[in-house]
């Protein structure tokens, strides 16, 4: 095996195409909860950030390992990467990544006394494995897939990230995480729906398969609408209680615009799919699916921008 081929295979199983989208998931809680810029100068935060990305790598490696034969048809580069490295090698990397995550989490918890941090990591590792692997296999558990992804991609990591700069997970941040997760899951459900024929063929009972295409897309639209409203309400509450003034409220304008754009798109798609035969509905989903990266990116970075402004205006302590 050539060195370049080996290195590329190790890179692909860590899904580098998602890394940029993962940055706001860790950055938003840190910016909203950080008491001031001094936290960025300490090693604790950056050790936490390393832990954060290790956990995402773990989930991605497990998924590549579990789906290696199915990916041979639709995501050939992932299947090829697993078999290039060898199944045992990838399994060993999965275990090693989990152990490294636990070691970092234990060190952070012991040095800070924030033992909730270790508990969240253990729970996240369980969800990350259970999503792709039997006997739980949340990916094929109908609505359980949605709940698992909502928790493991967004809510648990965002709660964990707050503990990198704070002693506890606050109610305000939890509301932000819940809303942000629901908003993004609306887009992700459309991405899942694009695989409707393939998932049906392979007997994978995703949320879309369990609900049917029309109800699944309707749920996606509802999640985006409700999630964005929750996110904006939580951030508005923070702006008011922290006394951030006009600048704080103005920082929410891009997020509000992004949310409306995504919600209108999804509502339109839901109406189209509801009134169309299945094959036409799938075609409409695939056509609209090209916008999923745009939706996810706009919502993610608009939320990041608002959090950055909040931090610049005074951090978790507001102007005072």
Helix, strand, or coil (residue 186):
helix
- pLDDT of res. 7: 92
- Ranges of each domain in the chain: 27-51+100-317
Look up residue 255 and give its two tokens. 């997020």
Nearest Cα to Cα of residue 45 among 153, 159, 166: 166
Question: What is the C-alpha to C-alpha distance for residues 22 and 180, in angstroms, rounded to an integer?
Answer: 13
pLDDT at 211: 96
Residue of 40, 21, 20 whose CA lies nearest to 30: 40
- pLDDT digits (tens), the chain, 320 positions: 678 889 999 999 999 988 988 999 999 999 999 988 888 888 999 999 999 999 999 999 999 999 998 888 778 999 999 999 999 999 999 999 999 999 999 999 999 999 999 999 999 999 999 999 999 999 999 999 999 999 999 999 999 999 999 999 999 999 999 999 999 999 999 989 988 888 888 889 999 999 999 999 999 999 999 999 999 999 999 999 999 999 999 999 999 999 999 999 999 999 999 999 999 999 999 999 889 999 999 999 999 999 999 999 986 654 43
The two structure tokens encoding residue 130: 């259970």
The distance from CA 8 to its chain's CA centroid, rounded to whole angstroms, is 24
pLDDT value of position 1: 65
In the chain, what is the greatest distance between 2 CA atoms, to the nearest angstrom? 60
Q: Identify which of 287, 75, 264 has the alpha carbon closest to the alpha carbon of residue 193.
A: 287
Q: With beta carbons less than 8 A apart as the criterion, state whether 266 and 220 touch.
A: yes
Rounded CA separation 319/79 (Å) = 52
* Per-residue pLDDT at 320: 36
Contact 193, 216 (CB under 8 A): yes
Residue 126 is encoded by which pair of tokens? Answer: 């369980």
Give the pLDDT score at 194. Answer: 87
Q: Whole-angstrom Cα distance, residue 250 to residue 156?
A: 28
- What's the confidence (pLDDT) of residue 72? 81
């Amino acid at each position: 095996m050539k060195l370049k081929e080996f290195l590329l295979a190790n890179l692909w199983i860590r899904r580098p195409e998602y890394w940029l989208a993962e940055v706001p998931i860790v950055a938003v809680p840190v910016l909203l909860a950080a008491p001031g810029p001094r936290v960025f100068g300490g090693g604790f935060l950056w050790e936490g950030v390393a832990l954060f990305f290790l956990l995402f790598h773990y989930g991605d490696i497990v998924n590549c390992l579990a789906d290696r034969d199915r990916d041979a048809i639709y995501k050939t580069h992932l299947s090829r990467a697993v078999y290039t490295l060898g199944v045992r090698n990838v399994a060993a990397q999965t275990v090693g990544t989990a152990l490294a995550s636990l070691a970092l989490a234990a060190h952070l918890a012991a040095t800070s006394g924030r033992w909730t941090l270790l508990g969240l990591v253990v729970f996240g590792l369980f969800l990350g494995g259970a999503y792709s692997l039997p006997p739980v296999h949340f990916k094929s558990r109908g609505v359980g897939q949605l709940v698992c992804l909502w928790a493991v991609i967004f809510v648990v990591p965002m709660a964990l990230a707050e503990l990198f700069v704070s002693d506890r997970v606050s109610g305000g941040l939890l509301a932000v995480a819940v809303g942000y997760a629901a908003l993004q899951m609306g887009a992700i459900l459309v991405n899942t729906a694009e695989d409707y024929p393939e998932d049906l063929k392979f007997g994978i009972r995703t949320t879309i398969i369990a609900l049917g295409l029309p109800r699944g897309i309707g749920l996606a639209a509802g999640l985006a609408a409700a999630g964005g409203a929750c996110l904006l309400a939580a951030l508005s509450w923070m702006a008011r209680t922290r006394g951030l003034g006009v600048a704080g409220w103005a920082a929410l304008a891009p997020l509000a615009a992004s949310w409306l754009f995504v919600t209108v798109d999804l509502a339109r798609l839901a109406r189209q799919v509801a009134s169309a035969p299945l094959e036409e509905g799938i075609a409409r989903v695939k056509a609209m699916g090209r916008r999923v990266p745009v939706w996810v990116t706009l919502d993610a970075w608009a939320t990041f921008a608002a959090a950055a402004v909040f931090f610049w205006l005074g951090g978790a302590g507001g102007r005072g």
